[in-house]
Structure 1
Amino acid sequence: MTVVRVSRRREMAALFSGVACMNIAMAGASTAGVLIATGSPGPGWSGVPSAAGVLGTAAGALGSARLVAAHGHRRSLLTTYGIGSLGALLAAAGAITGLFPVLLAGLLVLGLGNGGAQLSRYAAADLYPAERKGRALSAIVWAGTVGALAGPPLIAPAAHTADVLGLPGLAGPLLVAALVTAVAAVASAALPRSKPDVQPETRAYTGFAAAFARPAVRGPLLAMVAAQVAMVAMMTMSAPQLHQHGHGLEVVGWTLTAHMIGMFALAPVSGRIADRWGGRAAIFAGIGTLAVASAAAMTAPTSHTTGIPLSLFLLGYGWNLVFVGGSSLLSKQARKLQGTVDAVVWSTSALAGLAAGPLFALGGYVLVAAVAGITALVPLAVLTRS
């Protein structure tokens, strides 16, 4: 029993470290990409870099699921993290040369690493019995707290260091992203060599239609999609909103920290809610919190000391409740569909990143927050019937 516990702790530590590093990387890279796009080619394009990272995450989730099935979690994470680090370097090259398409391509490839990190929560859940799966996967989600505390505050000093070296300032966070993603790959090497989850010859096709066809999957899936769309839209446009009102990278950094703390720090609480009262209870609580976050943003859209930080914190925790609640249900009921569900969630939320820019240009942050709040409430119609 002691040997099992030691092995379990080692695997949890490796999974935790990799996810923490990827959250640091994505926080800095996404923010840098949004700010680069806001300056050139313009505010209407500000959601495109985030969408590129999200689409990469969707593709990474699908690819990672197939790698896990064929080779196990260790090989999957080593591959996706290694590719992600190269993507961050490519994005930095785009920032340095001023080639926007190269920046987008790099963020897309970096997202592949994030896709692998997202499936780590299911690897953690597999280590524990059914009554502890919520807490296990929430512990890996909690790893994002490290990204919340370290990621955004690194943006300004990384930009300053790049300036000192004679590089464009916003290339700095992208270079840091490349470094910490490589660290994630090193951490994943500590995982034991594992057998495939499913033998290739018996693996069933699990596409999008299969995910939507199962009632047990459809409700959690729609809730996770809506929460992701609402969160991505508001989070992506918070940096341009603050920037337009004269606030520098320091304010952007600590405001995003408040959001990411909401996203991850209370994950153990969400896990206990899911284990004790069920994943559906966590989802309903998350939807209500997302609605309050939208209302707070609409009430004080220019307040960088109270309104925006409070709304982003609530936005993050509402997303966390839905994410942990939905993942808890899927970890018990739909093992083969986990990669597909993540791909659907992330690819759909890419639309939020693409639509957020034009919405922001049309009606400002208030319009973005209003649309996000309405979107978060849509799954209630399905959840109450199921």
Structure 2
Amino acid sequence: MRSLFAAVAAMNTAMAGASTAATLIADRAAGAGWSGVPNAAGVLGTAVGTLTAGQLISRHGSKTVLLGLYGAAIAGALVAFAAAASTSLVLLLFGMFLLGLGSGGAQLSRYLAAELAPAHRKGFALSLIVWAGTVGAIVGPSLIAPGARLSTTFGLPALAGPVLVAVVMTAVALLASTLLRRTPAPPARRTSFATLRTPVVLAPLVSMVCAQLTMVAVMTMTPLHMAGHGLEVLGLVISAHMVGMFALAPVSGRLADRFGGRVTTYLGIGFLLVSAIAAFGAGEPGGLSVAMFLLGYGWNLVFVGGSATLSRELPQDQRIQLQGAVDAVVWGSSAFASFGAGLLFGLGGYSLVAVVGGVIAVLPVIVLARRGVPAEPAQHPLPASGGR
């Protein structure tokens, strides 16, 4: 658990700093229209990383796969550093994609933590790894300025500094992973994407995707909505959101263990709906801070609740593969949310984004209420696409 926590905290720190720097580097290299592309490459890498990790862990074991993904992240950070030094957009995109592969390993680590705990503690175990995101959210941005100063000291561009910090942090993630115990690969059957449509998988999948769409859409447009309030005020609002996303994860884990993943997911949907209503009516930074906190914690409840459901209810021989596939879909939806939010903002402003986000947030209720979706931890056989 300590090794997983340290690796995830380091990887999140690396991504937080590198993503911020990459946005600014792309803006200078190719203009504002390209500023979001490096982060999209990182998100794509995260989706590929989670999908790949889910498939490979079932064959080679978790330690080997995590070492490989974090090794790819180190290579990506070095490529991104070269891109920052030379202002090359092509190198930057490739580097961010490789960094995303490491982030995918970090995301899937919460399920590996759940495997270490008994059934009645799985929610809390995985929530501790989610909570590691708090470290990245706080430490990553705080290292941007010192990294930039260090970079200029050596005659390099200032934005190369935060990426150099990412090189160090990805190396820390790799080092922490070397301390993991090497365990045999879990028993596995071949799975197909058709399995994602079974009730035991579909309910948490839809819930987590809708929560991700709502959270990313509203959060992405908040800085534009707050134009004119100043960066310091914007920073406070975003900080409230980050606290909601990560800091209370252990509380969500306790709720998932006590009341079940589905109840926790319902609670998160309620928080997301209230946050959308608050964002719709908020005009001042104080109101937006409350809305952003509720948005972050609603996402956290759904994320932890859905993850706990998948950790308890999937059969062991298909569990990690399906968890990786679910995470790939969830993180892949982030790119769609960012693009769609911009279109909505252009059509009807922040209010329209909040309304659509609220509607999307409650859509999972339809799936959760369907007969056949389990309410309590249980083992449910899933169809295999082949194998014995």
Instruction: Indicate the TM-score class for this superposition, using the shorter chain for normalisation.
Output: 0.7 to 0.9
SS in 1 for 2:263: helix
RMSD: 2.5
Q: Distance in 2 between matches of 1:44 and 1:120?
A: 34
TM-score by length of 1: 0.86
* 1:367 shift after superposition: 4.1
Spell out, residue by residue over 1:239-286, the C-alpha distance to the aligned partner (whole angstroms, 9 max, x if none). 5656x53734x6665544332221111111111111111111111111
Q: What corresponds to 1:229 in structure 2?
A: 213
* 1:188 shift after superposition: 0.5
Q: In the alignment, residue 267 of structure 1 is paired with which amino acid?
A: A
Candidates 245, 254, 264, aligned match of 2:228 = 245
Q: In the alignment, residue 173 of structure 1 is paired with which amino acid?
A: P
Q: What corresponds to 1:8 in structure 2?
A: none
* 1:49 shift after superposition: 2.9
* 1:41 shift after superposition: 4.3
Q: Is the 8 A contact 1:20 1:147 kept in 2?
A: yes
Q: What corresponds to 1:298 in structure 2?
A: 280
Q: What corresponds to 1:324 in structure 2?
A: 304
Would the alpha carbon gap of residues 356 and 100 (structure 1) be closer, same or farther in structure 2, given more than 3 Å must change?
Answer: farther
Say whether 1:86 aligns with 2:86: no
Q: In the alignment, residue 78 of structure 1 is paired with which amino acid?
A: L
Q: Is the 8 A contact 2:123 2:253 kept in 1?
A: yes
Say whether 1:384 aligns with 2:364: no
Say whether 1:209 aligns with 2:198: no
Candidates 111, 134, 141, aligned match of 1:122 = 111
Q: What corresponds to 2:203 in structure 1?
A: 219
Candidates 128, 148, 151, aligned match of 1:162 = 151
Q: Distance in 1 between matches of 2:155 and 2:338?
A: 31
Q: Distance in 2 between matches of 1:376 and 1:361?
A: 21
* 1:291 shift after superposition: 2.0
Q: What corresponds to 2:337 in structure 1?
A: 352
Q: Distance in 2 between matches of 1:309 and 1:154?
A: 24
Q: What corresponds to 1:333 in structure 2?
A: 313
Would the alpha carbon gap of residues 160 and 298 (structure 1) be closer, same or farther in structure 2, given more than 3 Å must change?
Answer: farther
* 1:52 shift after superposition: 1.7
Q: What corresponds to 2:380 in structure 1?
A: none
* 1:297 shift after superposition: 3.0
SS in 1 for 2:369: helix
Deviates more, 1:60-69 or 1:108-117: 60-69
Deviates more, 1:349-358 or 1:269-278: 349-358
* 1:220 shift after superposition: 0.8
Q: Distance in 2 between matches of 1:69 and 1:46?
A: 37
Q: In the alignment, residue 218 of structure 2 is paired with which amino acid?
A: M
Q: Distance in 1 between matches of 2:357 and 2:35?
A: 17
* 1:374 shift after superposition: 2.6
Would the alpha carbon gap of residues 168 and 370 (structure 1) be closer, same or farther in structure 2, given more than 3 Å must change?
Answer: farther
Would the alpha carbon gap of residues 56 and 42 (structure 1) be closer, same or farther in structure 2, given more than 3 Å must change?
Answer: same
Q: Which consecutive aligned stretches of 4+ in structure 1 deviate over 6 angstroms post-superposition?
A: none
SS in 1 for 2:182: coil
Would the alpha carbon gap of residues 291 and 163 (structure 1) be closer, same or farther in structure 2, given more than 3 Å must change?
Answer: farther
SS in 2 for 1:194: coil
Q: Is the 8 A contact 2:29 2:87 kept in 1?
A: no
Q: What corresponds to 1:7 in structure 2?
A: none
Could you list the runs of 5+ residues in structure 1 that have no partner in the other structure?
Answer: 1-11
* 1:80 shift after superposition: 0.6
* 1:20 shift after superposition: 0.8
* 1:312 shift after superposition: 2.6
Q: What corresponds to 2:88 in structure 1?
A: 99
Candidates 371, 376, 385, aligned match of 2:356 = 371
How many residue pairs match? The answer is 366
Would the alpha carbon gap of residues 171 and 67 (structure 1) be closer, same or farther in structure 2, given more than 3 Å must change?
Answer: same
* 1:177 shift after superposition: 1.8
Q: Is the 8 A contact 1:50 1:353 kept in 2?
A: no
Say whether 1:277 aligns with 2:259: yes
Q: Distance in 2 between matches of 1:275 and 1:59?
A: 30
Would the alpha carbon gap of residues 363 and 43 (structure 1) be closer, same or farther in structure 2, given more than 3 Å must change?
Answer: farther
Spell out, residue by residue over 1:296-321, the C-alpha distance to the aligned partner (whole angstroms, 9 max, x if none). 333336x4x52443333222211110
Would the alpha carbon gap of residues 175 and 353 (structure 1) be closer, same or farther in structure 2, given more than 3 Å must change?
Answer: farther
Q: Distance in 1 between matches of 2:117 and 2:325?
A: 22
Say whether 1:315 aligns with 2:295: yes
Q: Is the 8 A contact 2:195 2:201 kept in 1?
A: no
Q: What corresponds to 2:180 in structure 1?
A: 191
* 1:382 shift after superposition: 1.6
Would the alpha carbon gap of residues 255 and 157 (structure 1) be closer, same or farther in structure 2, given more than 3 Å must change?
Answer: farther
Would the alpha carbon gap of residues 288 and 31 (structure 1) be closer, same or farther in structure 2, given more than 3 Å must change?
Answer: farther
Q: What corresponds to 1:63 in structure 2?
A: 52
Q: Is the 8 A contact 1:148 1:258 kept in 2?
A: no
Q: What corresponds to 1:181 in structure 2?
A: 170
SS in 1 for 2:250: helix
Q: Is the 8 A contact 1:31 1:239 kept in 2?
A: no
Q: Distance in 2 between matches of 1:172 and 1:368?
A: 35
Q: Distance in 2 between matches of 1:252 and 1:36?
A: 21
Q: In the alignment, residue 205 of structure 2 is paired with which amino acid?
A: L
Q: In the alignment, residue 247 of structure 1 is paired with which amino acid?
A: G
